[in-house]
Amino acid sequence: MDPLEYIVPNRKRLPYGMMNFAVIRRDNYYYVDKTRFIPLIEQADPFFFFIRPRRFGKSLTLNILQHYYDVSTHDKFDELFGGLYIGQHPTPNRNSYLVLYLNLSGISGELNDYRKGLDEHCGTTIESFCKKYADLLPPETWEELHTKKGAVAQLEFLYQICERANRNIYLFIDEYDYFTNAILANPEGSHHHTNETYGEDYLRAFFSKVKAGTYSSIKRCFITGVSPVTMNDLTSGFNISTNYSLSPNFNQMMGFTEEEVREMLTYYSTNSPFHHTVDELIEIMKPWYDNYCFAQECYDETTMYHPNMVLYFVKNYIIHSKVPESMVEDNIRIDFEKLNMLIRKDTHNASILQSLMSQGYIIGELQEGFSPTNITNPNNFVNLLYYFGMLTISGKYQGRIRLTIPNLAVQEQLYTFLQSVNYPIMAITAQECRGKERNRNAGVQGSDLIRLKALPCLSGGSSSGKADE
């Protein structure tokens, strides 16, 4: 195609990989409006805990909330939220907080020497906080801050100085489980985790200080991650948060519904070189990206498309005017190191994967959290697969939750993993999975889709009907 066809004046750009809400809104990017969930979050318990798979929109959600509640963005409210749900239905608490955002994935250092990295990250962030809100804090703030050494002491000073100034803090913590994720990929890291989460070690002391701040000026918290592994011990220093990860009220807060995907495709079909109808593109995308369900009560209702994968697909389709050669974007691929670590800990975990691939489902009980010391428990391994986005809720079986692989994107990756660790898989099924490339390049006809959906790993995982009791 002519590359100039991709350049269309005033066409909204796709926010692929973007997490800055202000840039998305100011620079004319396409935004799927999720602001209707802000009042629900506000009505929930003030210390909000939420888990979703990687690249599912967690960081963008936090950034939206920061811009909505930050007192410094008050005069930009119409620019950022005009035309959106929350712009038309603002809550009384908008633009009323001093916002503190901590991203623990930005911490440098090894597992056995992370304290320096935590101190540096928090120190830089708290300094920026004090500069940003200098006009709202006591004049002695800056001088007193530099007498405090380390993340724990500086955090305590911050919420105390804000209380003195009669200012409330909204604390956001992104990737709270960063250290646990590193441990899962590091067979030597387990004892470091134990040392730092039991007793009164530094990481535990940090979360204990966060808890202390909630009795002072820290009035709301929003904490995100990808796994619940550390909730029962690391965050016992902060044991007042409420986990909404499995709540039906927030099932659609991250990810795209099919209606939202259709609206996006319809918009771009009017200003881009499309060689398929919207229905045809949905038919291609659905078995690859759909079928995530995060609440048992919603399994026979609305399922979610992976947002990053949808944006990847649409972006490439617009640029090349055809379906992407690879339906799975590299950045979304399963972290094989974590799976390898879990299987090295207990080879029974590999047999769970093998059973999943052969029978198409597994049965389990979803938990809100568990200790890393119990990570080899078979049900906990199933829970990790679910929280990592490798399994989805598809109904009930004999009174327990029935879990299946959500889509072909995940299925492909699991096949690749099992082959990499030399575990036998069903040869015919594997061959069928690999045949997707030919089907996709041919436009993926309806009969091909039926065949792909019929693979054991996806059977029973459809959102169109209930699983057998």
Domain segments of the chain: what residues?
Answer: 32-250, 258-320, 330-453
pLDDT at 393: 94
CA angle 171, 147, 106 (to 5 degrees): 40
The single-letter DSSP state of residue 186 is -
CATH architecture of the domain with range 330-453: Orthogonal Bundle (1.10)
- Give the C-alpha separation, 168 to 24, whole Å: 27
pLDDT, tens digit (0-9, with 9 covering 90-100), for 377-428: 777 888 888 998 999 999 888 888 999 999 999 988 888 777 776 665 543 3
pLDDT, tens digit (0-9, with 9 covering 90-100), for 162-178: 999 999 999 999 988 87
Reduced 3-state DSSP string for 214-243: CCCCEEEEEEEECCCCCCCCHHHHHCCCEE
CATH 3.40.50 fits 32-250, yes or no: yes
The least confident of 212-221, 294-303, 351-360 is 351-360
Of 357, 339, 342, 345, nearest in space to 420 by CA: 339
> Would you say 211 and 240 are in contact if contact means Cβ atoms under 8 Å apart?
yes
**Which residue in this structure is represented by tokens 């396409």?**
30
* Count, residues in the chain: 469
pLDDT at 253: 97
pLDDT, tens digit (0-9, with 9 covering 90-100), for 18-67: 999 999 999 999 999 999 999 999 999 999 999 999 899 999 999 999 99
- Give the C-alpha separation, 259 to 280, whole Å: 14
The arithmetic mean of pLDDT across residues 127-136, rounded, is: 97
The arithmetic mean of pLDDT across residues 192-209, rounded, is: 66
The first and second tokens of residue 191, run together, are 């004892």
pLDDT, tens digit (0-9, with 9 covering 90-100), for 266-293: 999 999 989 999 999 999 999 999 999 9
- Give the C-alpha separation, 155 to 199, whole Å: 20
**pTM for the whole structure:** 0.86
